Amino acid sequence: MKIAVVGTGYVGLVTGTCLSEIGHTVTCIDIDQNKINKMREGISPIYEPGLDELMKKNIMENRLFFTTDHNEGFDNKDVIYIAVGTPEKEDGSANLSFVEQVAIDIATHIKKDVIVVTKSTVPVGTNDWIKEVILNNLVNDVKVEIVSNPEFLREGSAIYDSFNGDRIVVGAENEETADIIEEINKPFGIPVFKTDIRSAEMIKYAANAFLATKISFINEISNICEKVGANVEDVANGMGQDNRIGSQFLNAGIGYGGSCFPKDTKALVQIAGNVDYEFELLKGVIRVNQKQQEVLLRKLEQKFDNLKGRKVAVLGLAFKPNTDDMREAASIVITQYLVEKGANVVAYDPVAMENAKQILDSKVVYAASTIDALKEADVVLILTEWNEFKDLDLETFVKYMKQPVIFDGRNCFEPNNVKKHHVEYHSMGRPSIN
C-alpha cells in the first residue's frame, strides 16, 4: 500500500516507520522543516528506543520518505493517517485545530479516492466532523472513507508495542473499509477489533481513563497505607494476583503525567459534560492525581522546615522512563516548588534535559551525571524510575551526598535492601527508614 502519515511526533513517526518496516511505502508529512531535514538523514527528533535504526533501515530500502510538501506527500496515496497532536484547551476539551488543518490539506490536495485513518485521540463524533470538513473543501471529484484507528503505544516502548500490541481497534463506516485497514496491519500479527467509528473513538478515552483510575486508586490506597502502617507494594502485589484486577498500573508514586492521561481524562469529563453527564468518578481520579505530587512535598517539608540555600538533587525529569517527553511531568510542579522555596536545584535525567531546559525554571541547574547531581547534596528527590537510578548502589548516596536523605517518589528501592545502608529513606506508601 502507498501510505501518507501526517504529523511526525511520537505517534506519527513510529506509525510511519513501523508501517514501512512491514512493507508499505510511507511518506511522513510534517509542517516542521527542521524535523523533516533531520528525519531524512535517519535521525529521530524524539528519543524512542530503536527508532533511529528502524528509520535508517527503511530509508535505505526506499520505503520511508519525509516531506513538508502536501502535493508530494499525498500524491497517489491509498491511505492517509492523521497523527497530529490534539492538545488540551484551557477548558480541558481537546484542541482540534491541527486536525482541522490536516482535513483541509487533504481535501485540497488529493487527486484519487483515499481512506483517511485517524490515529490522533479525538472526542467521540470527531471523525464524522473530519469527513464533513474534507467533503466541504474537496477540490477534485474523489471518494473519501474515514476510519478511527486509535493508538495505544506507550512512549519508551513504542516500537515494541507496535509489533506486540494487545489489539488494533478499527472503527469504520463499512466492512469493506475495515477489511482494508485490517489487511494493511496484518503483518503485525496483532488481533484486530472491528467496531463502528464512535465506539472506536470512545474505546481510546475509556481505556486511558481506566488506566488513570487504577493509578489514582493505588495512590489513594498508598496514602492510607502510610497512615495505618501498611506497605502499598505488598498490598498492590496481593491485589494484583487476583486476575480480575491484574497487577499492572498499580505502582504507587507521585501520579501520572505525559501527553495522554492528563489531557484525555479531562477531555472525557468534557465529552460527558457535553451530553449532560457528570463523570464524577473520573473527576475524582484527576483531583487525586493533581494532589499526589504534594504528598511527596509535604514529606519533604516535614524533614526540612527551610529549603533555602540547600542543595536538592533531582533525579529524573521525564514524565516516565525511556522517553524525553516532559509534557505534564511531575518534575515541572516539584522543581517549581523547590525553586520558589529558595533551594538550589541540581537536576539530572539521562535523556530529557534538553527538553526540560525549555520548560523548567531557569534557576534549575543541570548535572552531567547522577553522581554530579548528588555531590554535596542535602537531599535527593527521585522523580522518574529510570533503570539507571534503580540500579544505583545505595552506597553512592552515602559516598557523594552531604547527608544521604532520599525522597523516592517512584519506589525505586527495596526497603529490605535500603535497611542495609546508612541512609534516610522516604518513599510512597511504605514506612520510612531512618
DSSP assignment, residue 89? P
Q: Which is nearer to ligand NAD, 116 or 423 (CB)?
A: 116
Q: Which helix (H) or strand (E) holds 217?
A: helix 197-228
Query: Looking at 259, 289, 293, 411, which residue binds ligand NAD (CB under 6 A)?
Result: 259
DSSP 31-61: S-HHHHHHHHTT--SS--TTHHHHHHHHHHT
Q: Residue 389 is placed in which grid cell?
A: 537510578
Query: Is 11 one of the binding residues for ligand NAD (CB under 6 A)?
Result: yes
73, 74, 75, 77 alpha-carbon torsion, rounded to 10°: 120
In angstroms, give the least distance from the CB of 140 to ligand NAD.
20
The residue from 12, 253, 316, 321 that contacts ligand NAD (CB under 6 A) is 12
Task: Give me the residue whose beta carbon is nearest to ligand NAD.
Answer: 9
Residues contacting ligand NAD: total by CB under 6 A: 27
* Residue pair 24/3 in contact by the 8 Å Cβ criterion: yes
Dig out the grid coordinates for 288 from the structure: 487525586
Residues 6 or more apart from 328 whose CB is under 8 A from it?
Answer: 257, 258, 259, 261, 262, 263, 319
Stretch that binds ligand NAD, among 29-37, 215-223, 346-354, 401-409 (CB under 6 A): 29-37
* Cα–Cα dist 345/365, whole Å: 6
Q: How far is the CB of 86 from ligand NAD (least distance, A)?
A: 4
- The residue within the footprint of ligand NAD, chosen from 7, 42, 255, 429 (CB under 6 A), is 7
29 touches ligand NAD (CB under 6 A): yes
Cell numbers describing residue 239: 491485589
Q: Please report which helix (H) or strand (E) contains residue 193, including its range.
A: strand 192-195
Q: Which stretch binds ligand NAD (CB under 6 A): 36-44, 95-103, 295-303, 401-409?
A: 95-103
Taking residues 50 to 89 in sequence order and writing x for each that binds ligand NAD by CB under 6 A, - otherwise, the string is ---------------------------------xxxx---
Q: How many residues does the chain have?
A: 434
Contact 150, 15 (CB under 8 A): no
**Whole-number minimum distance, CB 13 to ligand NAD, in Å?**
8
30 is a site residue for ligand NAD (CB under 6 A): yes
For ligand NAD, the closer of residues 98 and 217 by Cβ is 98
Find the part of the chain contacting ligand NAD (CB under 6 A) among 25-33, 130-138, 172-180, 420-428: 25-33
* 260 counts as catalytic: yes
CA distance 377 to 149: 48
Element containing residue 381 per DSSP (H, E): strand 379-382
Kindly state whether residue 249 participates in binding ligand NAD, applying the rule CB under 6 A: no
- Active centre residues (catalytic): 260
User: Which residues are near ligand NAD by CB under 6 A?
Assistant: 6-12, 29-32, 35, 83-86, 98, 101-102, 119-121, 151, 153, 155, 259-260
